[in-house]
Structure 1
Amino acid sequence: MPYLFIKDHKLNYADSHPEGAPSGGLTFICIHGLGSSQNYYYPVIPYLTDKHRCITFDNYGSGRSSYTGLEQSVESIAEDVISIMNELRVPNAVCVGHSMGGMVVSHLADAHPDKFLAVVAIGPVHPKSSIADIFEKRIRMVTESGMEGLADSIPNQATGSRATNLQKAFIRELILNQTPLGYASVCKAIAHAHPPNYAGVKAPFLLIAGQEDKSAPMDGCKYIFESISSEIKKMEVLPGVGHWHCIEAGDDVGRLIAEFTAMLQAGDSGLGADYW
């Protein structure tokens, strides 16, 4: 399994085109959310890899990127993304983020506008004071009792009415693959997160929301979308889908990202700032 050594930790990653994006193609870098891994994106990336390069990785403390006791934050995850791009010689990319990763992509697009050609936020979480209490409870739960309790509850509670038993089993496996201390570390990063500077995001922006998402509810998604400054932005709502969009509706998500990318490459600027 390939690893990148980033400062004082290492990250497991996968690269569909290690020699670089196909001619005329783009590079996508994908950031997963809490309790997940790079495998979250595998139902989606087949819609992209015929024409584009896709880089996925396990966030520090998640999946196969072992937790070694370092503190982290949304900003440190964003720094890891920049380091990955530098290590793999990626000058610019389309940045895709789910849930907590949806926070990270807005931070990145604001702080590094020259590096990100477009942004895709899938069920992005908008930080607010009530979130901190939720994640402090999760930290206590996993450090005292391990991951089994969440693995038994989240696949049912955080998915929508379209979710199949097989999809729920995949989500359960993703959660069980986390270590309690690594999971708690990511919880702390979310609990202490500050809202991104949405107004600083000028890159073309696609927001994909789940109609039945309780973790990134519609009011927060609409607030994020309305606050983004991009002249080219689009919001898509997936009916019957909860918070695990790429697993619950991978074909829909893959198609939406591919279509949005094709529109941008074609130079179609017909999607105005008030487009829905």
Structure 2
Amino acid sequence: MPFVQANSHRLYYADSHPDGPPTPNSLTFCFIHGLGSSQNYYYPVIPHLTKLHRCITIDTYGSARSPYTDETVTLPGIAEDVIGVMDTLHVQKAVVVGHSMGGIVVTELGARCPERIQGVVAIGPTHPSDTLVTVMNKRSETVLKSGIEPMANTIPFGAVGSRSTPLQKAFIRELILGQDPKGYAALCRAIATAKPADYAAVHAPFLLIVGDEDKSASMEGCQHIFHHISSEQKSLEVLKGVGHWHCIEAADEVGGLIAKFGDVLNVVNA
């Protein structure tokens, strides 16, 4: 299995074009998943991109196949790991795509590393709040006491929208069951202690995708992020009947929106 060393972490990853982007005008997209997920979350979406662009998907430290080694996890630390992956794979600039927890990470990257970021796509980003702190601390306690099954038995049914299918719920359940409980708990604590990124420092082109039935990343929180982003080129897209697992619940719509965003970036960079 392909692993890459980023800082002190051994991360599992996949690269659609390991020899480099397919054309001189191609973009490189780096995908960062959310809590209880893996790079496989993006596999229904990336076929919309890989004909023209390079796509790198990462299991973040402590998630899925990237082993947890008892280190404290922070969201800025995950952002540093993404830059570490880019460095190791010789990617100078990338469009970063993040879901949920990963949505916080990509805004952090846009604010802290503007010279490395060509664009930011945030999918259902979870804006830090007192409610989120309470939820994440409770989840951390639950999985350390009872394992990952309580999350797998509830999240696939409570965090999706009205359009979701039994097959989609099964996929989400499988993603959650693939987590190390200790790694999952550490990531819960990372989210609980996270501070909002400096949204005003994000100037790269910005795409925000939200589900109108998302209970985990509230519309209010997403609108707060959107209105505070400084990008001159930014757009907010709302998916009807979709909850928090956008790339599974509405893969073709999300893939199409990201592909369109890539087309716009190519025009801007031409």
Pick the TM interval, shorter chain. over 0.9
**Whole-Å separation in 2 of the counterparts to 1:108 and 1:243:** 22
Letter in 2 for 1:31: I
Q: CA deviation at 1:248?
A: 0.3
**Whole-Å separation in 2 of the counterparts to 1:48 and 1:5:** 25
3-state SS of paired residue (1:20):
coil
- Cα deviation code 1:197-219 (max 9, x no counterpart): 00000000000000000000111
Letter in 1 for 2:9: H
Letter in 2 for 1:133: T
Letter in 2 for 1:41: Y
Percent of aligned positions that are identical: 59
3-state SS of paired residue (1:221):
helix
**Whole-Å separation in 1 of the counterparts to 2:54 and 2:122:** 18
Equivalent runs, 1:193-272 vs 2, <5 Å: 193-267=194-268
- Cα deviation code 1:157-185 (max 9, x no counterpart): 00000000000000000000001101001
**Whole-Å separation in 2 of the counterparts to 1:150 and 1:188:** 15
Which residue number corresponds to residue 88 of structure 1? 89
Equivalent runs, 1:33-48 vs 2, <5 Å: 33-48=34-49
Letter in 2 for 1:231: E
Letter in 1 for 2:5: F
Q: CA deviation at 1:41?
A: 0.2
Equivalent runs, 1:91-240 vs 2, <5 Å: 91-240=92-241
**Whole-Å separation in 1 of the counterparts to 2:172 and 2:62:** 17
**Whole-Å separation in 1 of the counterparts to 2:96 and 2:261:** 13
Letter in 2 for 1:6: A
Letter in 2 for 1:18: P
**Whole-Å separation in 2 of the counterparts to 1:200 and 1:7:** 25
Equivalent runs, 1:10-29 vs 2, <5 Å: 10-23=10-23, 24-29=25-30
**Whole-Å separation in 1 of the counterparts to 2:233 and 2:146:** 46
Q: Which of structure 1's runs of 4+ aligned residues deviate more than 2 A?
A: 6-9
**Whole-Å separation in 2 of the counterparts to 1:267 and 1:144:** 51
Q: Which runs of 5+ in 1 are unaligned?
A: 269-276
3-state SS of paired residue (1:213):
coil
- Cα deviation code 1:77-116 (max 9, x no counterpart): 0000000000000000000000010000111011111111
**Whole-Å separation in 2 of the counterparts to 1:9 and 1:69:** 11
C-alpha contact (below 8 Å) 2:5/2:85 kept by paired residues: no
3-state SS of paired residue (1:266):
helix
**Whole-Å separation in 1 of the counterparts to 2:242 and 2:221:** 16
Aligned residues: 268
Letter in 2 for 1:171: I
- Cα deviation code 1:21-76 (max 9, x no counterpart): 11110000000000000000000000000000000010000010011101110010
3-state SS of paired residue (1:215):
coil
3-state SS of paired residue (1:155):
helix
3-state SS of paired residue (2:114):
coil
**Whole-Å separation in 1 of the counterparts to 2:112 and 2:156:** 34
3-state SS of paired residue (1:109):
helix
Q: CA deviation at 1:260?
A: 1.4
Deviates more, 1:6-15 or 1:193-202: 6-15
Which residue number corresponds to residue 70 of structure 2? 69
- Cα deviation code 1:211-247 (max 9, x no counterpart): 0000001111111000000000000000000000000
